[in-house]
Amino acid sequence: MGYKEQYRKIAETILDILFPKFCVSCGKEGRYLCTECNLFMSEANFICPSCQEAAFLGKKHKTCRDKGLDGLINFWDYEGIVKKLIREAKEDQLVGIYQEMLESGVYCMKTNKERFSEFLSFLLDKETTISFIPKEKKKFNYGEEIAKNLSQIFKKEIMESGGKQVVLIDDTWISGETLKKHARKMKEEGAEKVWGFTLARTP
């Protein structure tokens, strides 16, 4: 373990002592989402980002002609515990909640590689970069925080302007219009493929 990693772990330990974490759902101390409550998070089915009907592996249907997103990954339905977690994160700017949710989502991908195979193949391609939707300077950018954590986990470059292949990140998918609009803009600026990535979406 390097010095930077050691310092990070020491800093995290000190912060946990001074500002202990409690499960947003049940109040148990230790994490924002305890192991028991994690089991009650409803897994989202994959949909086509264009027509929003069921889609195998999250890819856009070949018959859908929208020029924005080529695929979409969401881990959970935006309801119940998941909705409560994201609302709490936004109200109190608790970046740690997003970190824990992303860790849980990445664990899902690693333990179910077949289901996420199309997205993982795209994400791990050397040409693929990570991006997020810019916000006004005064606003806290949740998508940017998720992008930073995802880039660290998979050792990918973050480019706000994107590249030829882009994983475009936001925290939630409600109607999807924000992500789709930004993906179209990226295509106009030269991107060839863009996949959307959010922690949750409206079922």
Query: Which position has the token pair 């080529």?
Result: 70
Cα gap 20→13, rounded to integer Å? 10
Q: Report pLDDT for 202.
A: 94
Higher pLDDT: 59 or 7? It is 59
Comparing 65-69, 74-78, 182-186, 191-195, the range with the smallest average pLDDT is 65-69
Q: What is the DSSP string of 53-117?
A: SB-GGGBPPTT---SS-SEEEEEEESSHHHHHHHHHHHHHT-HHHHHHHHHHHHHHHHH-TTTTH
- pTM for this predicted structure: 0.87
**Dmax over Cα atoms in the chain, in whole Å?**
55
Q: Look up residue 61 and give its DSSP letter.
A: P
CB 169 within 8 A of CB 131: yes
Question: What is the per-residue pLDDT for 20?
Answer: 83
What confidence score (pLDDT) does residue 63 get? 95
Mean pLDDT of 23-43: 91
β-strand partners of 71: 59, 195
pLDDT digits (tens, 9 = 90+) for 8-21: 555 555 655 566 88
Q: What local confidence, expressed as pLDDT, does residue 94 receive? A: 83
The reported pLDDT for the residue numbered 186 is 95
Residue 6: per-residue pLDDT: 61
Q: In 3D, which of 86, 52, 82 has the Cα closest to residue 69?
A: 52
pLDDT recorded at residue 80: 94
The pLDDT tens digits of the residues spanning 83-101 come to: 999 999 988 878 889 999 9
Average pLDDT, the chain: 89
Over residues 99-149, the pLDDT tens digits come to 999 999 999 999 999 999 999 999 999 999 999 998 876 677 889 999 999
Count the neighbouring beta carbons within 10 Å of the beta carbon of residue 42: 15
Task: Identify the pLDDT of residue 178.
Answer: 93
Per-domain residue ranges of the chain? 1-40, 42-201
Alpha-carbon span 128 to 167, nearest angstrom: 7
Q: What is the pLDDT of residues 147-201, one digit of tens each?
A: 999 999 999 999 987 789 999 999 999 999 999 999 999 999 999 999 999 999 9
